[in-house]
């Protein structure tokens, strides 16, 4: 494919020779002749001066020096995603049409004829699976669960009874949606289980990461909004609500009944205590421990979490305490001296 053609397909402004042939796509460091690469992080800008790539995708306003033609675009991430689709290996799962003979599907399940079901999958009675959905190996769909159309359940993904999953949802490997909420009451010195008769609802276009768990509600539903992106090994507690288009990085934990707004971002390993409200478009730093409500658009950090400016200030102060201790000691000395001078009759 010629560079000019790619430029047209990804809606880029070509800066250089459009006749250059492009046959692959890869990172800046690894790129060689024939490769299209991209500058996603300004930090690596100087690499373009000596890149062996045949072309590089950059942000529209980028102004550095490049050893090869550049393609200027509004969103390098988007352009790169489009280019990867044009030039890379197929990324979709390749699952044969139809239902693998080993799959165990209840005759009382309603599975669209276009659904592809891999080996060792289980679909229980009353479950409904929409058109074009694919279930790779070892997936489980519980009784009366509903999976929309165009979904992808990767290997060993589990959807428990009565859970509702929207359209075009991706459930990654080993994810568990609708597991029992963690709730017990103590009686006579022992824990007794609180039944969780609620369910989980996952909105259209959401993604649930590998080995992530989303617990079912005590009553009602744990809700994951439309377009939400959840990374691996995340824990979503019972009755949590996550608003549309929020994103959370790996190993985040959201405790029971917390309400996370829309367009919220949570960094890796952050934790949110139960029954809190996180406002729309709030940003929760990695490893934060959120223990009170966060207003919309607020950025918080630290454990316990506080507004970013305060968290930085506290941390900076903490690191300068040794200096302040010295200044206080100095004051004590000088003051003692002054007292002596005064007492001495000066």
Q: 80 to 139, contacts with its own copies by CB under 8 A?
A: 80-81, 84-85, 88-89, 91, 94, 100, 102, 104, 118-120, 122, 124-125, 136-138
Q: How far is the CB of 2 from its own copies (least distance, A)?
A: 21
- Closer to its own copies by Cβ: residue 142 or 279: 142
Element (H, E) at 77: helix 76-87
Instruction: Give the CA distances from residue 172 to residues 33, 230, 240, in Å, rounded to whole numbers and listed in that order.
Output: 35, 10, 20
Q: How wide is the angle at C-alpha 88 spanned by C-alphas 85 and 93, nearest 5°?
A: 75
Tell which one of 268, 281, 293, 307 touches its own copies (CB under 8 A).
268
Pick out residues in 182-241 that bind its own copies (CB under 8 A).
182-187, 189-198, 205, 207, 209-211, 213, 215, 217-220, 226-227, 229, 231-233, 235, 237, 239
Residue 303 binds its own copies (CB under 8 A): yes
Residue 51 binds its own copies (CB under 8 A): no
DSSP 317: H
Pick the stretch among 15-23, 56-64, 65-73, 269-277 that binds its own copies (CB under 8 A). 269-277
Q: How wide is the angle at C-alpha 224 spanned by C-alphas 136 and 253, nearest 5°?
A: 95
- Closer to its own copies by Cβ: residue 16 or 229: 229
Q: How many residues can be counted in the chain? A: 346
Catalytic choice (172, 196, 238, 245): 238
Bridge partners (DSSP) of residue 170 are 152, 207
DSSP 4: H
- The contacts of residue 19 (CB under 8 Å, 6+ apart) are 2, 3, 4
The span from the CA of 277 to the CA of 263, in Å, is 14
Q: How far is the CB of 110 from its own copies (least distance, A)?
A: 17
Tell which one of 75, 108, 112, 295 touches its own copies (CB under 8 A).
75
Q: Which residues are catalytic?
A: 238
């Amino acid at each position: 494919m010629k560079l000019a053609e790619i430029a047209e397909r990804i809606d880029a402004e070509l800066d250089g020779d459009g006749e250059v042939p492009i046959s692959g796509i890869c990172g800046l460091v690894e790129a060689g002749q024939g490769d299209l690469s991209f500058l996603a992080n300004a930090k690596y800008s100087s690499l373009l001066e000596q890149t062996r790539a045949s072309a590089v995708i950059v942000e529209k306003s980028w102004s550095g020096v490049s050893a090869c033609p550049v393609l200027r675009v509004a969103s390098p991430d988007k352009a790169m995603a489009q280019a990867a689709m044009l030039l890379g290996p197929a990324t979709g799962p390749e699952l044969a049409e139809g239902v693998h003979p080993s799959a165990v599907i209840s005759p009382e399940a309603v599975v669209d004829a276009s659904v592809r079901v891999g080996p060792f999958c289980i679909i229980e009675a009353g479950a409904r699976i929409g058109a074009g959905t694919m279930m790779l190996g070892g997936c489980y769909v519980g009784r009366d669960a509903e999976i929309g159309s165009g979904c992808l359940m990767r290997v060993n993904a589990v959807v428990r009874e009565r859970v509702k999953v929207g359209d075009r949802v991706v459930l990654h490997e080993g994810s568990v949606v609708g597991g029992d909420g963690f709730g017990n009451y103590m009686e006579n010195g022992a824990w007794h289980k609180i039944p969780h008769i609620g369910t989980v609802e996952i909105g259209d276009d959401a993604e649930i990461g590998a080995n992530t768990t989303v617990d079912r509600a005590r009553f009602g539903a744990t809700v994951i909004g439309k377009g939400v992106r959840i990374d691996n090994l995340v824990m979503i507690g019972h009755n949590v609500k996550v608003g549309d288009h929020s994103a959370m990085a790996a190993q985040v934990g959201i405790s029971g009944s917390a309400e996370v707004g829309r367009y919220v971002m949570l960094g890796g390993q952050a934790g949110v205590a139960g029954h809190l409200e996180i406002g729309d478009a709030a940003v929760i730093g990695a490893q934060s421990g959120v223990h009170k409500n966060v207003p919309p658009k607020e950025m918080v950090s630290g454990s316990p979490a506080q507004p970013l400016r305060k968290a930085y200030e506290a941390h900076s102060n903490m690191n300068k305490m040794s200096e302040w201790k010295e200044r206080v000691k100095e004051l004590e000395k000088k003051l003692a001296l002054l007292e002596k001078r005064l007492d001495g009759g000066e």
